């Protein structure tokens, strides 16, 4: 299973609690001046790939180390609709204070992992890898890319230093060249550090031909329909890996894979994945005891 560094989890949780709890919880303080025993259960309300559980656990314990937690699902586990993920027992005030931050981690990251799994399953009959992008929330990149990996996806660049990706705006500054795509590839190969991969984004078959002449490692077909992707794959003829990006959804990703893409990068995995429906239900300890009498 893909793991996330404990220090990264603590950093994210600490920042989340600083946002939400730095000045206290006015509502809980007004209603419950003294300790109130309670039990809470976090439940999946849809099928999910669980992601963010370690962060949720850390959130509750950072608010109140005396809380007792019973973990039913770990990060990377699958959960069905209605299954329990986590149970928390202790001071209801502490549970209330941690609730929103813990659910934010679980809902957002499980949503990413679940969408990624759905897309990976759609192309499972093809040797196509599903990649994420750098379209992540500031400060959340490691968490979001980790959730993609839990869902079966592959991480693309973590930062601008991880590869040479020549995009449309880079090419716009090279328009003085008669063949800017080819020129960009040659410049990149001449000046790259070590063995950084060279990826060039193209938008037409004419640019595909320029890219082939420039000899990049990957030719990225941007916003092309499956039929155009198939034609481009034929032109490239295994002289570079073929990546497809732009407008890829669960509805058309299989067609892109069938057209011959080696890899498909999807920004929506991190910037538009719907939050998973996960809830926290709480009862007072006294009510829970009466129910079992």
H/E element, 71:
strand 68-71
Domain 6-119+274-291 fold is Aldehyde Oxidoreductase; domain 3 (3.90.1170)
C-alpha span between 122 and 226 (Å, rounded): 15
C-alpha closest to that of 130 among 145, 117, 120: 120
Beta carbons of 44 and 278 less than 8 angstroms apart: yes
Residues in the chain: 293
Please identify every residue annotated as catalytic.
100, 135, 167, 201, 222
Both structure tokens of 77: 């586990």
- Domain residue extents for the chain: 6-119+274-291, 123-271
H/E element, 52:
none
**Would you tell me which CATH number, out of the four given (3.20.20.70, 3.20.10.10, 3.40.50.720, 3.40.50.2300), belongs to the domain 123-271?**
3.20.20.70
Could you read off the pLDDT tens digit of each residue along the chain, which spans 293 residues? 678 889 999 999 999 999 999 999 999 999 999 999 999 999 999 999 999 999 999 999 999 999 999 999 999 999 999 999 999 999 999 999 999 999 999 999 999 999 999 999 999 999 999 999 999 999 999 999 999 999 999 999 999 999 999 999 999 999 888 899 999 999 999 999 899 999 999 999 999 999 999 999 999 999 999 999 999 999 999 999 999 999 999 999 999 999 999 999 999 999 999 999 999 999 987 654 554 44
């Amino acid at each position: 299973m893909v793991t996330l560094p404990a220090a990264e989890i603590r950093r994210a949780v600490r920042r989340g609690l600083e946002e939400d709890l730095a000045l206290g919880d006015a509502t809980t303080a007004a209603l419950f001046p003294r300790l109130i025993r309670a039990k809470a259960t976090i439940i999946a309300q849809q099928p999910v790939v669980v992601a963010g559980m370690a962060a949720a656990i850390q959130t509750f314990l950072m608010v109140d180390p005396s809380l007792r937690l019973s973990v039913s699902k770990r990060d990377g586990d699958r959960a069905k609709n209605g299954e329990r993920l986590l149970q928390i027992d202790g001071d209801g005030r502490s549970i209330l204070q941690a609730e929103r931050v813990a659910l934010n981690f679980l809902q957002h990251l499980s949503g990413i992992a679940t969408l990624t799994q759905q897309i990976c399953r759609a192309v499972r009959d093809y040797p196509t890898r599903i990649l994420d992008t750098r379209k992540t929330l500031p400060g959340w990149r490691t968490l979001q890319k980790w959730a993609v990996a839990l869902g079966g996806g592959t991480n693309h660049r973590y930062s601008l230093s991880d590869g040479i990706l020549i995009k449309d705006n880079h090419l716009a500054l090279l328009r003085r060249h008669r063949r800017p795509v080819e020129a960009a590839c040659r410049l990149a190969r001449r000046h790259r550090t070590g063995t950084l991969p060279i990826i060039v984004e193209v938008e037409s078959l004419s640019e595909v031909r320029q890219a082939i002449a420039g000899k990049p490692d990957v030719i990225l077909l941007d916003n092309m329909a499956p039929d155009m992707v198939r034609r481009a794959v034929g032109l490239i003829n295994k002289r570079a890996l073929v990546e497809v990006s732009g407008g890829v959804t669960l509805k058309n990703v299989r067609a892109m894979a069938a057209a011959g893409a080696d890899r498909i990068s999807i920004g929506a995995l991190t910037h538009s994945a719907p939050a998973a429906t996960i809830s926290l239900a709480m009862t007072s300890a006294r009510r829970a005891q009466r129910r079992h009498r």
